[in-house]
């Protein structure tokens, strides 16, 4: 049975939140320069490819975190 649009949106929000939490934790612990996309993907327990589906790169991820904090 295909997923409903609401289910797809819920999964997208949950995955985005998972990625942002992992990135924030690593950026605070190691700094943004010492944290790689691979580190964030591993911490979020997703593949690098999936992370790039949600964010263009580390700068985009850092920008999203800054937007949340402001």
Cβ–Cβ under 8 Å, residues 55 and 38: no
Q: What is the pLDDT of residue 34?
A: 96
> Per the structure block, which two tokens stand in for 53?
């589906």
Residue-number span of the structural domain to which 54 is assigned: 5-69
Percent of the chain with pLDDT over 70: 100
Average pLDDT over residues 10-38: 96
Whats the size of the chain, residue-wise?
70
| Residue keyed to tokens 């402001």 | 70
Q: What is the DSSP letter of 32?
A: T
Split into its structural domains, the chain has a count of 1
Q: Return the CATH number at 65.
A: 1.10.357.10
State how far the Cα of 45 lies from the Cα of 19, in Å rounded to an integer. Answer: 9
Residue pLDDT, tens place only, 33-56: 999 999 999 999 999 999 999 999
> Which residues 6+ apart lie within 8 Å of 30 measured at CB?
39
């Amino acid at each position: 049975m295909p997923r409903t649009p609401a289910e797809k949106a819920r999964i997208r929000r949950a995955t985005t939140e998972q990625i942002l939490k992992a990135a924030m934790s690593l950026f605070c612990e190691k700094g943004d320069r010492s944290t790689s996309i691979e580190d964030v993907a591993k911490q979020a327990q997703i593949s690098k490819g999936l992370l790039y589906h949600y964010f263009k790169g580390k700068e985009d991820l850092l920008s999203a975190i800054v937007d949340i904090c402001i």
